[in-house]
Amino acid sequence: MREADAMAVTAFVLGLAGLLVANLVLGPTAAVLGVLALRKGTTRPGRARLGIALGVAGVVVLGCLVAADGTWSWSV
């Protein structure tokens, strides 16, 4: 159970960080960890679901940036 809780928290943190940097890597990782945490029966299902949502949102943001700019890099 403790391992599942750690996965849920890690999914949330990686999903949050994935919105800002390394969307392509951190987004899917957060989503996978969130799903695994839910399957293992975490006592923190809210954080696991947030990790999944933030991971997917990070990939969507990356897709929008690529579609708008035509490049995989950030430009300020």
pLDDT tens, position by position, 3-51: 888 999 999 999 999 888 878 888 899 999 999 999 999 998 999 999 9
75 DSSP 8-state letter: -
CA dist., res. 75 & res. 52, Å (int): 26
pTM of the model: 0.86
Helix (H) or strand (E) holding 68: helix 45-69
Q: How many residues does the chain have?
A: 76
